[in-house]
Amino acid sequence: MKATTDSIRELRQQTGAGVMDCKKALGEADGDIDKAVSVLRKQGIVKAAGKMSREAREGLIASYIHPGGRIGVLVEINCETDFVAKTDDFKQLVKDITMHIAACEPRYIRREDVPEGMAEQEKEIVKSEFANKPDQVIEKIAKGRLDKFYGQICLMEQPFVKEEDITVREYVASRVAKLGENVKITRLVRFQLGEQV
């Protein structure tokens, strides 16, 4: 199916991608807009990778208090310029991330932030559970268990609460591609009423 002007316009509105990128993605997806969004997302993540190494010192510190006042989030999200920090797209990203943190309770931003001892402890548990298995099997199981562990406690590896077929990292990368600037989640704190510190 050929890309039509209407389908290109609709895809552009959904993704913010350029006309030629939308036309090409629709061609690859046989005119299916949902598949074309996936094509653009994959391309956007690739394009965003180069931007994600650039320095980001502007941005916003935002808060979110869940209705009922039992959960609160404070987060710092940086971008490269104050111009982008003031855009609706950036503010929507910040809102989405604060709500995700409230809902999914990440303890760390990236797996590199997790204390070394916690990862080692997880490996030791696997080794004791599967002591009768060969070492290479234990290593595979440990890797899978660690990936799952990081996916539960690290913000960037959690399934994004509004779109669970992608991770928070993939969501942020798609916003980087749309905004044209690096975006970095720098700090987060999540409070829950009655929680032990």
Asked if 64 and 41 sit in the same domain, the reply is no
- pLDDT value at residue 46: 42
Domain residue limits at 129: 115-152
Condensed to tens digits (0 to 9), the pLDDT of residues 113-134 reads 988 888 788 778 877 777 777 8
Asked if 106 and 15 sit in the same domain, the reply is no
Asked if 102 and 162 sit in the same domain, the reply is yes
pTM for the predicted model, two decimal places: 0.68
- Going by the DSSP 8-state scheme, the letter that residue 111 receives in this structure is G
Number of folded domains that form the chain:
3
Show Cβ contacts of residue 151 under 8 Å, excluding neighbours closer than 6 positions. Answer: 157, 158, 159, 167
The CATH number given to whatever domain includes residue 169 is 3.30.479.20
- Going by the DSSP 8-state scheme, the letter that residue 115 receives in this structure is -
Calpha distance 63→17 (Å, rounded) = 30
Two tokens, residue 181: 């600037």
Asked if 86 and 183 sit in the same domain, the reply is yes
Asked if 83 and 97 sit in the same domain, the reply is yes
Asked if 162 and 96 sit in the same domain, the reply is yes
Is residue 91 assigned to a domain? yes
Task: Tell which residue, 43, 52, 96, 57, has the closest CA to residue 73.
Answer: 96
